[in-house]
Amino acid sequence: MNERQDAQIRRSRLNIFLSDFMQAREFSDYILNRKLHEVRGPQAKAKLVHLALNTSLIISYSRPFHKSNEGAGLPRASLRQHVGRLLSVDERALHEKVIYKRDQALAHSDAAAHEFEGLNYNGRGMLFYKSAFDPLTKDETQMLRRMSRKWINYLKELKAGSKRANQ
């Protein structure tokens, strides 16, 4: 991708994306600082808080990678084409997992994210469902926090470059 293509993302959209990643970083900081991964036993409220923050983390992180509506006559914006340039192989694997969780389970209720293939869910027997809502692990949350920081720094560089180009 060249500078001209990068410049196609409007500065106001870069600010929106920055806000999304800053929000994702705040959610991951809260989860990690409160050690919500370590909650055990009957502390149901803390588990619920962890689940809610994890969902918010995934949605905030994912927003910039889905084509967002812009004003009339403006192209839809996404950072999807920048992933390969910025993230390592391990980070790209987590990125894909997070996007999948958002797309299949958190923002939509796709059967593939909830049901095991080959089981009959129409009978009277006990139903088994995948844990599509399980929070990210502590290591994944830490990595996603680092990835959010990377995106924040990258977007700040893009903003600085677009500012220089407009002067």
pLDDT tens digits for range 15-45:
999 999 999 999 999 999 999 999 877 667 8
User: Is 79 in contact with 17 (CB distance < 8 Å)?
Assistant: yes
List the one residue out of 39, 63, 61 whose CA is nearest residue 50.
Answer: 39
How many whole angstroms separate alpha carbon 162 and alpha carbon 167?
Answer: 9
pLDDT tens digits for range 92-115:
999 999 999 998 877 655 455 445
Per the rule left: phi > 0, alpha: psi between -120 and 50, beta: everything else, 21 is alpha
pLDDT tens digits for range 49-79:
999 999 999 999 999 999 877 778 788 889 9
Mean pLDDT for the stretch of residues 146-158: 96
